[in-house]
Amino acid sequence: MKGKFDNNIKDALIKGTDETTKLKNEVWERINKKIQEDERNDIKIVKIPRQISEGF
Amino acid sequence: MTKDIIREIKSGNKEAFEDLYNKYADYALRVAFAVTRSNANAADAVQETFIRINSNIDTFKDENPFDPWFYKILINECRRVLKINSIKNSSMDIMANDLYLSVNRTPKFEEYEDLYFAIEKLDEINRIPIILKYLKGFSEKDISHILSLNINTVKSRLYKGRLKLKNFLKVFDEGWSDYEG
């Protein structure tokens, strides 16, 4: 009896969250965009001290 | 398989990171949605989890299992997103974000719908162990590691969670007003 109820919980969770898998591609695009932004920001951080030192 | 992917990511292979995403994203989104009860929050939590994985992969020790490490980060991100949004956003904002993400928030299924609704109504301390055990199939030992809890506490929370779900199903026909989770 416990096993049947456990299986029902599993099935309910799988069916109840089925729609979320449609977000997969959208979230991947967001991750890529964020990583690229972070990489660009890292490059800027490296360049700032050099630009300041050149100004003096 | 996963260990090979991790090794490739550590050596700087960017395609391996996409392989890892393709392998883990489906269930990460399912778990995040079940924990946060919102597509917008789930998307935010999964996004931040993979960004953290990408920047901290060197701290992962190859001799350890990857899944508990991954889901520990995911659950922490879900909690962080929930905390931020409970301060910043009203429920209307979350619903608007869900519409923007073009996915309907309400689960569209009939079989087990009452049971899923009952799981959504559980308190976080019972809901998260139930999700990790039944949706992802983690052992009680793994759940205790992911949630930084004693294994007996995990067993107790799972037992009480199941009991609450059974009680809910019993009172469902009598109406929601009598049910307190």
ipTM of this predicted structure: 0.81
Question: For residue A47, what is the enclosing H or E element?
Answer: helix A24-55
Kindly determine whether residue B43 and residue A19, on different chains, have CB atoms separated by under 8 Å. no
What digits encode the pLDDT tens for the residues B14-29? Answer: 899 999 999 999 999 9
What digits encode the pLDDT tens for the residues B37-89? Answer: 999 999 999 999 999 999 999 999 989 999 999 999 999 999 999 988 776 66
Q: Is B103 on the interface with A (CB under 8 A)?
A: yes
What's the mean pLDDT when you consider all of chain B?
A: 87
Q: How far is A27 from chain B (nearest CA, A)?
A: 6
Does A47 have pLDDT greater than 70?
Answer: no
Report whether B43 contacts B100 (CB < 8 A).
Answer: no
What digits encode the pLDDT tens for the residues B76-112? Answer: 999 999 988 776 665 555 555 554 554 444 545 666 8
> Looking at the partner chain, which of B21, B55, B130 has a beta carbon nearest the beta carbon of A9?
B130
Q: Is B139 on the interface with A (CB under 8 A)?
A: no
Q: Is B14 on the interface with A (CB under 8 A)?
A: no
CA max distance for chain B: 59
For chain B, the first-to-last Cα distance in angstroms comes to 41
Residue-range domain boundaries for chain B: 1-104, 107-176
Q: How far apart are CA B43 and CA B66, in angstroms?
A: 21
| % of chain B exceeding 90 in pLDDT | 72
Amino acid present at A3: G
Pick the CATH number of B107-176 from 1.20.1530.20, 1.10.10.10, 3.40.640.10, 3.40.50.300: 1.10.10.10
Amino acid present at B116: Y
Nearest to B132 by CA among B40, B45, B27: B27
Q: Is B180 on the interface with A (CB under 8 A)?
A: no
Give the predicted TM-score (pTM) of the model.
Answer: 0.82
pLDDT for B176: 56
The class (CATH top level) of B1-104 is mainly alpha
